[in-house]
Amino acid sequence: MNNFAQVANFNGKTPKIDPNNAAMLLIDHQSGLFQTVKDMPMTELRANAITLAKIASLAKIPVITTASVPQGPNGPLIPEIHEAAPHAQYVARKGEINAWDNPEFVAAVEKTGRKQLIIAGTITSVCMAFPSIAAVNAGYQVFAVIDASGTYSKMAQEITLARIVQAGVVPMDTASVCSEVQQTWNRPDAAQWAEAYSAVFPHYQLLIESYIKAQAVVNNHEQLDSQRK
């Protein structure tokens, strides 16, 4: 499908994530549901979901999690999400497939006071799409993180993308969310952001390591030159 050029507009402008006005909803990242994912490697999906939790902690973005019948075959939430975002609030559902149909979940979102929502969920076509569309209808700006979701086929992913874009949801990938939230490398926690990126781009870790080694060599040469003087 090549019909994804249409992008949702708000007041005539494509929205941009404002870390001070955004909340993150990580929905149904459950061990059982991960077994059904076929549109991307499950290990990448897991790493991307955890990365979102990490950058939410770094940027002090509220995080709300929930699970679909975790006591059943869908399995429990992967523990790394709450480990990466200790401030995350978990909302138990009473069987609702669409998290937005759960009043406690909606109340938790409203309590954040944020008007932008970064949403990822497994399965993409259900657990991510349904609450994303409902949140747009409720007046929120919604950014759906496709590669931190995951579904049972590439076709299901493409159909879902077409549907959510038509509904006004902005699709993004994990790296673009990280960059838009981070905003600048000129910050005291830059090294922690670089570490978060390395989970999305494993080869980026090699780049960081080579830079650190090269910088150490430069610093050592400068120190030797200073001693000779």
Task: Check if the beta carbon of residue 65 is closer than 8 Å to that of residue 89.
Answer: yes
> Which stretches within the chain are classed as H helix?
31-34, 42-58, 80-84, 103-112, 129-137, 154-167, 174-182, 190-200, 202-228
Please state, as a whole number, how many other Cβ atoms lie within 10 Å of the Cβ of residue 123. Answer: 25
**Among 25, 26, 27, 127, the one annotated catalytic:** 127
**Cα dihedral: 189, 191, 196, 199 (round 10):** 180
Catalytic annotation present for 178: no
Q: 40 in helix, strand or coil?
A: coil
Residue 109 neighbours by CB under 8 Å, 6+ apart: 23, 25, 64, 117, 135, 140
Write out the catalytic residue numbers.
127
